[in-house]
Amino acid sequence: MPAAPRNQTRRQGSVNLLVPPPRPPLQTVVGCLEQLQRQWQRDENLAALWQAWPKIAGAQLAPHCRPLRLQGGRLVVGASHPQWLQALRFNKHRLLGALRGAGFSVKDLVLQQHQATPLPPFGSEEEEQVWAHHPSRVDVFGMASCPSCQRPAPAGELERWGHCSFCQRERMDNGVAMGTPADG
């Protein structure tokens, strides 16, 4: 039978009694929460990612998408609307870099449509707000030529992503990493 450590026994007469181990030093609530968050990150816990998501995804994307599953270094992110799914695809490499920079060991991102709540009714104010801020709007941003292929494309997409959706599709089909505006 193994012997208890000296600091966990007390002699009373001819009998050795076990006593509880000494308590760890007290920590502040903030310290406990920080320790818990670090543990969650190490264990690939989705809760730590949910908490950091607004900083990682950014103010524009975060309200419209969220992490759904994190398993084996593969993060599944769901977008609430097809337009935001497209925005996620164009920003996949930046999002992956931001995740790694925040200490998450994410190797791959899987992007999918995910509607956690029912879609807003057709013609509703919420639907109008999503559409009003989307970069693919030709009537707001106008048209321009893609610097890579010279095809016409919404100027908002070109400003945001640096190339048109046709070029992006070709890159994805050829297995080329998503480009930045500097890639042209």
Structure tokens at 150: 């010279």
| Of 4, 27, 30, nearest in space to 17 by CA | 4
Summarize the confidence of residues 12-33 as an average pLDDT: 83
The neighbouring-strand residues paired with 109 are 75
User: Is pLDDT above 60 for 179?
Assistant: no
Structure tokens at 92: 């996949």
H or E stretch covering 161 = helix 155-161
Say whether 32 sits in a helix, a strand or coil: helix
Rounded alpha-carbon distances, angstroms, from residue 123 to 131, 146, 177: 11, 31, 37
113 vs 177: which has the higher pLDDT: 113
Q: How far apart are CA 36 and CA 34, in angstroms?
A: 5
Q: Tell me which residue has tokens 């050829």.
A: 174
pLDDT of residue 2: 67
Summarize the confidence of residues 83-106 as an average pLDDT: 89
pLDDT confidence bin for 183, thresholds 50/70/90: very low
Say whether 43 sits in a helix, a strand or coil: coil
User: Is pLDDT above 60 for 182?
Assistant: no
pLDDT in tens, 123-175: 888 888 877 777 777 777 788 899 999 988 888 888 877 888 888 777 766 76
Say whether 118 sits in a helix, a strand or coil: coil
